[in-house]
Amino acid sequence: MDVKREEREAFAKAQKTLLEELKSGEFHPLYLLYGEERYLLSYYKKLFLKAFSENEGINITQIEENLETKNLIETAETLPFFAPYRLMLFDGKIGGKKKLSDDFVQYLKTSPRTTVMLFLEEKVDKRSSFYKTVKDRGLILPCTVQDADFLERFAFQFFKKEKKQITRPLLQKLLERTGNNMYRIEAECQKVISFLGEEIEVTEESIELSVKKLPEDKIFDLIEALGRGNRETLFRYYGDLLQLEESPTKIRSMIKNNVTKLLIVREMLTEGKAERDIAQALSMEPWRVRRFCSEARSYTLEALEDLMHALLRLEEEIRQGKIAEQLALEVLLCGEEKDYFS
């Protein structure tokens, strides 16, 4: 089992326990929330703060710059005011130059149960004494980037809350445009809901008009137009990307990344691999895999290899100063790289 999948399963299990504890008001002494999904870290941080907000938050201490072990222990030993628990919040205090001392980490093994300590981190060393201590005495919630099923449920809840109806195909179309960033998913769902007004049913038109495509999706459209030789459509997408203030360097880089994925997908399809296997191999959402598979089937393996070689040749010419970045990109899009290199 891959690490991401393990962490997602651990998240689902720990999330259930955490929500039950927040509801019951019975807490572990230690909590560690870590991972690259900032939305989840922020969401559960707010739930903790809300749970301890009585009496104007007198039992909440957010640890800022003062990390002296003596002061931290004094705070941890202070009894809560007319409540069963007090909360100490540590945001990004485990790694880096300004971090908690080894003595305080050792103290966590015997810290009072009346003081709940919440640690928020982007990365954590699972071999460390700190991690093992939290695992023994508390709860660990890995807030990793979530899979397609979780994101569908997450997006669906916004429409359900506003009593809007959306089909699964349209929900997937929406997520194709948002990507897996949960902040963006929330924002774009709210845009669609606002666009609908009093209307109940989400339509394809409402998504088309209210949710803009990501630059990555415009790149995919551009490659699709390139493969079909449709210059008018191709340069319309290119113009859209320039209007989004994407640099020629970044556009070329995104084209290269997508062509690389198309090559891998085309090879795996030739080997008879299923879309499920491709999704797992590339850590890609199912709806993106379907689109990559559809596009890869429209190319021969040789055509994709030729396109990749053209990209690599132009990259070398740019590196040597023989052609400007934007001209190189437009030469590629015009399909004139063969003339250029002849």
Mean pLDDT of 49-70: 89
Q: What is the token pair recorded at 334? A: 């015009």
50: left (phi over 0), alpha (psi -120 to 50) or beta: alpha
Helix 148-161 to helix 182-196 angle (10° resolution) is 30
Q: Does 20 have pLDDT greater than 60?
A: yes
Q: In this predicted model, what pLDDT tens digit does every residue of 260-318 receive, in sequence order?
A: 989 999 999 999 988 888 888 887 777 778 888 888 888 888 888 888 998 898 889 89
Domains of the chain: 3-142 (3.40.50.300), 148-210 (1.10.8), 215-341 (1.20.272.10)
Phi and psi dihedrals of 31, rounded to 5? -135, 135
Summarize the confidence of residues 100-105 as an average pLDDT.
92
Higher model confidence: residue 337 or residue 53? Answer: 53
pLDDT tens string 145-154 = 888 889 999 9
Confidence of residue 205 (pLDDT cuts 50, 70, 90): very high
pLDDT digits (tens, 9 = 90+) for 161-195: 999 999 999 998 899 888 888 999 999 999 999 99
Q: Are 278 and 168 in contact (CB under 8 A)?
A: no
